Homo-oligomer: A and B are copies of this chain.
Amino acid sequence: MSTDPPPAPPALGKVPRTERGRRTLRKLLDAAAGEFAEKGFHETSITGITKRAGTALGSFYTYFDSKDEIFQALVSDMSDRVRQRAMQSISADMTSLETEHAALSAFLHFAREHKEIYRIIDEAEFADPESYRKHYETTAQRMLGRLRAGAESGEFRDDVEEAHAWAIMGMNVFLGLRFCVWSDDRTIDDVAEVAARILERGITAGNEPR
Residues of A at the B interface (CB closer than 8 Å) are 40-42, 97, 122-123, 125-126, 133, 140, 147, 151, 154-158, 160-164, 166-175, 177-179, 182, 186, 190-191, 194-195, 197-207, 210
Since A156-B205, A162-B178 are in contact, a sample of 8 more A-B pairs with Cβ atoms closer than 8 Å, ordered by chain A residue number, is A40-B126, A42-B126, A161-B194, A163-B195, A167-B194, A167-B198, A198-B199, A202-B202
Q: Distance (Å) between the CB of A81 and the closest chain B CB?
A: 21
The residue of chain B having its C-beta at the shortest distance from the C-beta of A200 within the complex is B202
Counting every copy of the chain, the complex holds 4
Interface majority SS (helix, strand, loop, mixed), chain A: helix
For A210, what are the chain B residues with a Cβ–Cβ distance below 8 Å? 206
Could you say which of A42, A182, A202, A210 has the most chain B C-beta atoms within 10 Å of its C-beta? A202
Question: Which residues of chain B are near A41, meaning CB under 8 Å?
Answer: 126
Residues of B contacting A42 in the complex (Cβ-Cβ under 8 angstroms): 42, 126
Task: Given the known inter-chain contacts A155-B204, A199-B202, A202-B200, please indicate yes or no for A167 contacting B174, CB distance below 8 A.
Answer: yes
Per the bound structure, the CA–CA distance linking A93 and B160 in Å amounts to 31
